[in-house]
Amino acid sequence: MNLPCTPSFNLSGKRALVTGASSGIGLACAVALAEHGAEVTLAARSEDKLRDIAEAMMAENWLANVLEMDVSDTEATEAAVLANGPFDILVNSAGLARHGPALETDAPDYDAVTDLNVKGAYFLTRAVAKGLKEAGKPGSLINISSQMAHVGGIDRAVYCATKHAVEGFTKAMAIEWGKAGIRVNTICPTFILTPLTQSTFDNPERRAWIMDKIKLPRVGEVSDIMGAAVFLASDAAEMITGTSLMIDGGWTAD
C-alpha cells in the first residue's frame, strides 16, 4: 500500500524577507522561519535592534541578516528588495495603528496609517513578486492583516479600512500571479499581547470587550502566529492562495 506523504514544512534553501521584524509578530515570524531552515532577512527602521536580534538568531545556528527598511518609503523599499532579492518568502508585519473615534480622525493620522498599511504593503508585495517573476521562481507572500479586515471595531475606522484594503489587493494579486506559482495570502490575528498592545489589555473595559469576543479562554500570544507563518511559507500550503488564515480565537465566527 502506498500511503500519502505529508508535505514538508522544511524551509531550507529558501530566502525570507520579514518586515517589522524588530518586535512582536514580525520578530516571532522571523524566528519561526529561521528555525525551520530559511535564511531570514530582518527588515525594520531600527537597524541597531535588528543586529542584536540577528546575533541572537545566529547564536542558535540559524541564518539571519539585516536590512534597514522603511516600508512607507516605497521607492527605497523596491530598490532594496530588488538589490537584495529574490526572496522566496515575504512576511510583511510592518504596520501602524492610530486609534480614535471616526469623527476625530485628522488627515495626518489617516495618511500615516494608510501610507504604511496599504501603500507600503502593496508596493512591498509587488517588489518581492517582481523579483520572483524576473528570476522565474515561485514564492509565498504573506501580509499580516487583522481580524479587523473582516469586521468593524471601536475607534478603528481607519485601521479597519486599511486592513480591508490589504485583503482586497491580496486576492487580486493572487489571481494575477497564480500561474507563476506565486502565492499571496494574509494572516489575520486577533488582539495579540505584545508591548505595543499592552495598554489596550491594561484597560479593563477594552480587555472585557476583547475577552467577550474571543471564544477561547485566553488572549492571543505571538506564538500563535508562528506556526501559521511556517505553514503558509512551506510546501504544505502549495494549494493555498488568495485567502486569509484567521487566528482570532473565534472572534469572526459570529
DSSP string, the chain: -----PPP---TT-EEEEESTTSHHHHHHHHHHHHTT-EEEEEES-HHHHHHHHHHHHTTT-EEEEEE--TT-HHHHHHHHHHH---SEEEE---------GGG--HHHHHHHHIIIIIIHHHHHHHHHHHHHHHT--EEEEEE--GGGTS--TT-HHHHHHHHHHHHHHHHHHHHHGGGTEEEEEEEE--B-STTTHHHHHSHHHHHHHHHH--SSS-B-THHHHHHHHHHHSGGGTT--S-EEEESTTGGG-
The pTM of this model reads 0.95
Q: Which of 111, 142, 130 is nearest to 33 (CA)?
A: 142
- Percentage of the chain with pLDDT > 70? 100
| pLDDT per residue as tens digits for the range 111-135 | 999 999 999 999 999 999 999 999 9
Q: Say whether pLDDT at 154 is over 90.
A: no
* Bigger pLDDT: 166 vs 99: 166
Confidence of residue 136 (pLDDT cuts 50, 70, 90): very high
Work out the average pLDDT over 169-182: 98
Residue 178 in any domain: the answer is yes
Would you state the cell numbers that stand for residue 149, as one nine-digit string?
Answer: 479586515
Q: In sequence order, which residues have a C-beta less than 8 Å from that of residue 156 and are 6 or more positions away?
A: 97, 99, 148
Residue 156 in any domain: the answer is yes
Residue 211 in any domain: the answer is yes
Tell me how many domains the chain contains. Answer: 1
| pLDDT per residue as tens digits for the range 187-219 | 999 999 888 788 888 999 889 989 999 999 999
Burial class for 51, CB neighbours closer than 10 Å (0-12, 13-18, 19+): middle
Q: Say whether pLDDT at 139 is over 90.
A: yes
- Identify the pLDDT of residue 46: 83
| pLDDT per residue as tens digits for the range 85-109 | 999 999 999 988 888 899 999 999 9
Residue 47 in any domain: the answer is yes
Work out the average pLDDT over 67-77: 96
Residue 9 in any domain: the answer is no
Residue 159 annotated as catalytic: yes
In angstroms, how far is the first alpha carbon of the chain from the final one?
43
Residue 112 in any domain: the answer is yes
Residue 172 in any domain: the answer is yes
Catalytic residue among 62, 87, 123, 159: 159
Q: Say whether pLDDT at 35 is over 90.
A: yes
Q: Say whether pLDDT at 153 is over 90.
A: no
- Identify the pLDDT of residue 190: 95
**Mean of the per-residue pLDDT values of the chain:** 95
Contact in structure between 159 and 146 (CB atoms under 8 Å): yes
Q: Which domain holds residue 102?
A: 15-253
Work out the average pLDDT over 170-190: 98
CATH number for the domain harbouring residue 197: 3.40.50.720
- Identify the pLDDT of residue 178: 98
- Identify the pLDDT of residue 254: 81
- Identify the pLDDT of residue 187: 98
- Identify the pLDDT of residue 113: 95
Phi then psi dihedrals of residue 192, to 5 deg: -110, 130
Residue 49 in any domain: the answer is yes
**CA separation for the pair 216, 223 (Å, rounded):** 16
Q: Say whether pLDDT at 20 is over 90.
A: yes
